Chain A
Amino acid sequence: MSFLERVDQGIRQSAVWRSLFRNPYPNDERSRAYAVMNNVFLHLHPVRVRQHAVKFAYTFCLGGLSFFLFLVLTVTGVYLMFFYAPSANMAYTNILQIQTEVPFGLLTRNVHRWAAHLMVFFVFLHMMRVFYHGAYKPPREFNWVVGVVLLFLTIMLSFTGYLLPWDQIAYWAITIGTNMAGYAPLFNTPSKFILLGGLEVGQNTLLRFYVLHIMVFPLLAAIFLAVHFWRIRKDGGISGPL
């Protein structure tokens, strides 16, 4: 036995490893069924899925990839949070520091930015895929509604994040965006005031958007994602075939 094989065996036979994974790596159908059923992450899936549903050209993996990007954004976002203070005096400096001083800071910020745009884009495409397959029809009506809520949350996550760098792009984009909300009939002044925490974009806005961005919307999204995935299975799995 080579050295590497002995290390491999040593790890796999250790008490720690065997407490983590009760069974050896599943190679046959039966143990793979068990693995999918018993692993907390894998059991999002049923043990077997209908053939057409695993074809790339049916879902284009768009829902799954939206979720994957949500996870990427959570991880990169948490890293950025260590170096960012939501203060009108500090935020911009913090972004500059992230880009120049923080290890992998620039890369993390870039990935966070591009993944965010990509997620909004994929969620739109996912919605179109679902529509063209008529997958909102019974029994999936309610999951479509959950989806619309997720679309709203995704856009709001992106929008609230847009302000955080506190540069000219951010400031004026949010000014335009929130001005629109200011024209809501009956609620014009209150809705704008509640969003901004004042009459124009300022320190209160930054703090509000920050809390919404890192806490409120991610939590809400996680809850609605859980319902969304649960409902897919309770509604009988992926729709189709066409």
Chain B
Amino acid sequence: MAEQQTAPGHRTVQPVDPARRTEIDKQRVPMSARPYRLLALVKQDAVVRVQKEPDDTVMTWPHLLAIEFLAAVLVSVFILLMGLFVNAPLEDLANPNVTPEVAKAPWYFLGLQELLAYFHPTVAGALTPIFVLVGAALIPYVDRGNLLATRPSDRKTAVLLFTLFCGLGLVLTFIGIFFRGPGYAFALPWVTGMHFSL
């Protein structure tokens, strides 16, 4: 894309010290002799390619920006309403000497806390989270079967394993949230009430 440059006429440009000019410099067209500036480099084959793929693109403005704006507004309204009508929890001042009926970790760690009830703490509290994070990071390097298959129906094993894993996490977290009462013993929420805060 070319763009006219409006050079202010009165400004004088000092030539570069000849001692500092390299071979490449000598071949360059001086900026003042070039009424355009470089906006993009285009690969050779992009220029000579005759057959053009069908264009499946739309303008970012308005199509993408509109949907982003709408989504942001909806979420803003939601958190504003939440903020107006539901107060963030706050209990008594922290006191190391008063153990609460049940101490629960934040909800995203409750799956791990639930595992603590069944396994040795090293397994539940340390090895599992490390395994989950490292394992997740390795997924693209392990799932090398058919690199072109993206449709879930073409990669049933991967989808099944991942879904099972997510389901397991969800179930554990659910138990931790709803079915654990005083002393982190099993409890039914409709009998003993909820023991959970966000």
Q: Which residues of A line the B interface, CB within 8 A?
A: 26, 29, 32-33, 35-36, 42, 45-54, 56, 61, 64-65, 68-69, 72, 88, 92, 95-96, 99, 106-115, 117-118, 120, 124, 127-128, 131-138, 140-141, 144-145, 148-149, 151-152, 155, 158-159, 162, 165-173, 175-177, 179-185, 188, 200-201, 239-240, 242
Contacts and interface: CB of A to CB of B under 8 A. Distances in A.
B122 A185 contact: yes
Contacts of B122: 183-185
Q: Is the interface of B mostly helix, strand, loop or mixed?
A: helix
Q: Is the interface of A mostly helix, strand, loop or mixed?
A: helix
Interface residues of B, number: 73
Nearest to A161: B106
Q: Which of B56, B59, B79, B109 has the most CB of A within 10 A?
A: B79
A136 B108 contact: no
Contacts of B198: 113, 117
B139 A180 contact: no
A219 to B, nearest CB: 20
A239 B71 contact: no
B100 interface: yes
Interface of B: 56-65, 67-68, 71-72, 75-76, 79-80, 82-84, 86-96, 98-100, 103-109, 112-113, 116, 121-122, 124-127, 129-130, 133, 136-137, 139-141, 143, 147-152, 155, 158-159, 162, 166, 197-198
Given A51-B57, A88-B94, A184-B130, 18 more contacts: A33-B61, A36-B61, A53-B64, A54-B58, A99-B87, A114-B83, A128-B162, A134-B150, A136-B143, A137-B143, A137-B147, A138-B147, A168-B91, A169-B91, A173-B103, A182-B125, A185-B127, A188-B126
A184 B60 contact: no
Contacts of A176: 103-105, 109, 113
B93 A144 contact: no
B166 A185 contact: no
Given A48-B59, A148-B137, A239-B150, A107 B71 contact: no
Nearest to A138: B147
A141 B141 contact: yes
